[in-house]
Amino acid sequence: MTQSGTGPQLLARFSRIPVTTRSHRRWAILLAGVFVFELADLHTFALVAPELRKQWHLSVASIGLITSLGFVGMFLGSAIGGRLSDAYGRKKPLIWSSIWFSIFSALSALATDLATLGVLRILTGVGLTSMTAIALSYVSEMYPRDLRGRYLALIFGVGLSGIPLISWFARAVVPAGTDGWRWVFLVGGLGIVVAALMIKYLPESIRWQIANGTGEQAESLVAQLEREAVAKLGTDLPEPEIATETPAARGGLRELFGPQYRRRTIVFFIASIFAVVGFYGYTSFVPTLLVEHGFDVVHSLTYTSIVQLGAIPGAFLAFTFTDRWERKYSLGISYLSITALVLVYGYADEAGVIVVTGFLIAMLLQTSTVLAFTYGPEIFPTELRGLGGGLGNGLGRLATAGGSNLLPVIFTTFGYTAVFIYVGVVLAITAIAYLGWGERTTGRALETVTVGPRNPAAPTPQERENAT
């Protein structure tokens, strides 16, 4: 069979399958499991930084350097992982990136000096964001249009439990002894267990297989899902509605900035850069800044642990409206709300105000993250989804590497409050980008979101039919 004949038929059959099968649930559990360790590991250095600063006599600038090195690794991982997933499929790069970050996270526990830890955090960062970029593409491709936002919210919401878990774990072990901080890094190494389970139970993306001419392999998976759905429902599935096939993208950087996708690429990249800079500008430095503001290490970690509990309800808050309200507007309103709360936080001196506003910031940051993680993969075609989403998230990490070195300068020159004014400004820019120029994606099939002015260089369906 030719791809043009197989693709629309398989996609139509796949899209009508209800998300009630055992396979759908299994995929969600595996992805949520690997996100638990990925999200926990993203916060490990921020949690141990105050103790390392005491033991290794580090400056705030040194903390910023290590943080920025980790983000350089994240940029490389996001860009490389996204590109590899477009070329070689979603499954294998997802598994290997999970194994990669698990190994180097565990090795970070053995570091004895700043230089070694810096190298290990770069390598850990490569695996972390590679895994994220690929997983986001996978969710968008394997769950239907009216549920992909909610399923990502569920998967990410469960994964976010890794943040308060690692925060409270750090609160228990870091003050307990000289080597207590090493145990925090070891937790990230447990992600390798989930990676091993994905080898057996996670299938390749059906959309990726169809886009790459391996629809025959996807056929057996679609048939399996149909059997599971019929057995679960006790009735036949509705007839598939076959959509008109859209021109295939070539899958390269040149097309990403071509006339068909240029505007959405630029807007997404700008929004991602400022969103990630603001996100990590807040989360990576709060424990250290609280100490500098007069709180001791124990109180700093206690407040941070309480605040991070807001992350989980934040993702589930997104679940309630992500597939109901247009995502570009939800993103804009969320980031404007966070901007206001960050400014309140920066001017607060009382512990109660710090904890309450910090909790709300942590909650809404994760609400916005779920929305943005759903939005990014939606606006690119299958052949560009990994590259486009990966580069957007990766550029945000690269910009954060510079921002991590800028924040200590702002703090040293202008003081504690100025740091939060800076964070508020960059988040406001994110809101404006989405509200002003974002794409409408909610409730639309991926194939219709990516339709735009046709690239004259791309073959028509008839040309591709003749070529096969």
- Measure the N-to-C terminal CA separation of the chain; round to a whole number of Å: 9
Residue 300: both structure tokens together = 């700093």
What is the Cα 347 distance to its own chain's centre?
Answer: 30
Q: Are 225 and 21 in contact (CB under 8 A)?
A: yes
Q: What is the pLDDT along the chain (468 residues), one digit of tens a residue?
A: 333 345 788 888 998 898 888 999 999 999 999 999 999 998 898 889 888 988 998 887 788 788 888 888 999 999 999 999 999 999 999 999 999 999 999 999 999 999 999 999 999 999 999 999 999 999 999 998 889 999 999 999 999 888 888 888 998 999 888 899 999 999 888 999 999 999 999 999 999 998 887 777 889 999 999 999 999 888 888 888 766 555 555 667 888 999 989 999 999 999 999 999 999 878 766 766 777 666 666 667 677 777 878 888 999 999 999 999 999 999 999 999 999 999 998 888 887 888 889 899 989 999 999 999 999 999 999 889 999 999 999 998 888 877 767 888 888 899 888 989 999 999 999 999 999 999 999 988 888 887 654 443 444 333 444 444
Q: What is the predicted pLDDT for the residue at 302?
A: 73
Q: Are 53 and 63 in contact (CB under 8 A)?
A: yes
d(CA 433, CA 312): 26
Residue 454 backbone dihedrals phi, psi, to 5 degrees: -70, 135
Residue 202: both structure tokens together = 């996670």
Q: 253, exposed or middle or buried, with CB in 10 Å at 0-12, 13-18, 19+? A: middle
From its phi and psi, is residue 229 left (phi > 0), alpha (psi between -120 and 50) or beta?
alpha
What is the Cα 88 distance to its own chain's centre?
Answer: 20
Q: Are 379 and 126 in contact (CB under 8 A)?
A: no
Q: What is the predicted pLDDT for the residue at 42?
A: 87
Q: Are 126 and 72 in contact (CB under 8 A)?
A: no
Structural domains of the chain in order of their starting residue, each with its CATH number: 3-237+251-456 (1.20.1250.20)
Q: What is the predicted pLDDT for the residue at 248?
A: 56
User: Among 284, 294, 358, which residue's Cα sits nearest to residue 63?
Assistant: 284
Q: How many CB atoms lie within 10 A of CB 87?
A: 13
Per-residue HEC secondary structure of the chain comes to CCHHHHHHHHHHHHHCCCCCCHHHHHHHHHHHHHHHHHHHHHCHHHHHHHHHHHHCCCCHHHHHHHHHHHHHHHHHHHHHHHHHHHHHCCHHHHHHHHHHHHHHHHHHCCCCCHHHHHHHHHHHHHHHHHHHHHHHHHHHHHCCCCCHHHHHHHHHHHHCCHHHHHHHHHHHHHHHCCCHHHHHHHHHCCHHHHHHHHHHHCCCCHHHHHHCCCHHHHHHHHHHHHHHHHHHHCCCCCCCCCCCCCCCCCCCHHHHCCCCCHHHHHHHHHHHHHHHHHHHHHHCCHHHHHHHCCCCHHHHHHHHHHHHCCHHHHHHHHHHHCCCCCHHHHHHHHHHHHHHHHHHHHHCCCHHHHHHHHHHHHHHHHHHHHHHHHHHHHCCCHHHHHHHHHHHHHHHHHHHHHHHHHHHHHHHHHCHHHHHHHHHHHHHHHHHHHHHHCCCCCCCCHHHHCCCCCCCCCCCHHHHHHHC
Q: Kindly report the pTM of this predicted structure.
A: 0.85
Q: Are 375 and 322 in contact (CB under 8 A)?
A: no
Place of tokens 């008109």: 244
Q: What is the predicted pLDDT for the residue at 392?
A: 93
CA–CA distances in Å: residue 373 to residues 27, 272, 301, 318, 398: 17, 10, 28, 11, 18
Q: What is the predicted pLDDT for the residue at 312?
A: 83
Residue 72: both structure tokens together = 């350089």
Buried b (16+ CB within 10 A) or exposed e, 156-177: bbbbbbbbbbbbbbbbebbeee
Q: What is the predicted pLDDT for the residue at 294?
A: 65
Q: What is the predicted pLDDT for the residue at 296?
A: 67
User: Among 91, 75, 113, which residue's Cα sits nearest to residue 206?
Assistant: 91
